[in-house]
Amino acid sequence: MDLPRGLAGVVIDQTSISSTKNARLTYSGYPIEEICQASFEEVVYLLWYGRLPNKEELQKFRKMLVRKMVLPAETVRLLLYIAREPQHPMSILRTTTSLLGTTNDVEHDEPPRILAKMLTVIAAIVRIRNNEPLIDVDEKMGVVENFLYMLTGERPDEELAKMFSTVMILQADHEFNASTFTARVVASTFADYYSCLTAAVCALKGPLHGGANERVFEMLEKVYDHDMDPIDYVKDAFKRGRKVMGFGHRIYKHGDPRAKLLRPIAEKMAKRTGNMYFFEVQTEIADYMLKEKGLYPNVDYYTALIYHCVGLKKDVFTTIFAACRTAGWLAHVMEQRREKTLIRPCSEYVGPDERHYLPDVND
């Protein structure tokens, strides 16, 4: 049997949340090029309920999410204890997501509270690692503004909030990507939300998925620290048979539509924060990768620089991706629960032919 490796091209179920048909990303029918102009809360509502909210619904939804961006005291206590180096932030997020699922009222936890808590946990991990005090939510601001405020300790200006909102929307969902598929498998067993999200965080951690953004910045730093020609870095990676992180995609063979929208944001952020050196290195590497390998940058390539410009250290980059993707994970967990079908595929067995155990042979 000629099996597609890694389920490439295999349609395993239906979804009405998002689509990458014809290499175009749409959320519930809206092209991302258009829906990225909406607010993050509108997009979360769309992913969860299949339609955009009206003005009143949006206001209520935003208020409810912001109010819920508060952590149980026991979670904060644990975070203060475990969130420090040398543990990787994604390992801390994995453990904390699991811990959130052990509080008394977990059975009553619904997606809005879960999303709100995940955002606050991620901001808290970042602050604790920087030895900075935790920031309380400001109910006068929206979800994105609060997330940035809780991460950096500074209320963002309008331009920054708008750009970061687009960044969060572009990463909010992506049909059956590895971490979402993982969450759906767990959801199909009727496990609770936190079990689904913990599994999703584990899948996102790896460098072939969400972990790529950290490696992208590692590359940019290496070029800078050693005053290297960026093309020499890439040639060396090729020589060693290594992949260049932030390039290539299972679905998008002619360019990731999210990367096209993120590139001008990365440039603007780099200009705002005096990081144009990194943007120029990225441009040089991207041109070379296309010429030499026909590979385009993916979503993680430009978010790496954007997160750096926000003032974040590279080891927390993937947790920010998790913050954005939690909205999509929850949408898929809800959809999978409605489906009421266990995901349990089959395998092609290629081991030894049937043989027989002889109890006395090892006497």
Which residues of the chain form contacts with ligand COA (CB under 6 A)?
6, 208-209, 212, 243-250, 293, 295, 298-300
State phi, psi for 31 to the nearest 5 degrees.
-60, 140
Residue tagged active-site, from 173, 256, 300, 315: 300
At closest approach, how far in Å is the CB of 237 from ligand COA? 7
* Alpha-carbon gap, residue 244 to 40, rounded angstroms: 31
* Alpha-carbon gap, residue 174 to 354, rounded angstroms: 42
Nearer to ligand COA, 299 or 324 (CB): 299
Cβ-closest position to ligand COA = 248
Nearer to ligand COA, 67 or 293 (CB): 293
* Alpha-carbon gap, residue 149 to 127, rounded angstroms: 11
Nearer to ligand COA, 24 or 67 (CB): 24
At closest approach, how far in Å is the CB of 271 from ligand COA? 25
At closest approach, how far in Å is the CB of 116 from ligand COA? 26
At closest approach, how far in Å is the CB of 240 from ligand COA? 11
Closest CA to 320 of 222, 194, 211, 215: 211
Q: Which residues, at least 6 apart from 232, have a Cβ–Cβ distance to it below 8 Å?
A: none
| 179 class by beta-carbon count within 10 Å (0-12 exposed, 13-18 middle, 19+ buried) | buried
At closest approach, how far in Å is the CB of 9 from ligand COA? 10
Residue tagged active-site, from 174, 249, 308, 332: 249
User: Do the beta carbons of residue 184 and residue 343 sit within 8 Å?
Assistant: yes
What radius of gyration, in Å, describes the C-alpha atoms of the chain?
A: 21
* Alpha-carbon gap, residue 143 to 42, rounded angstroms: 11
Parallel, antiparallel or unpaired: strands 18-19 and 26-27: antiparallel
At closest approach, how far in Å is the CB of 349 from ligand COA? 24
Is 308 an active-site residue? no
Is 249 an active-site residue? yes
Nearer to ligand COA, 289 or 330 (CB): 289
Return the number of other C-beta atoms located less than 10 Å from residue 127's C-beta. Answer: 19
Please state the separation of Cα 152 from the chain's center in Å: 19
Residues designated as active site: 249, 300
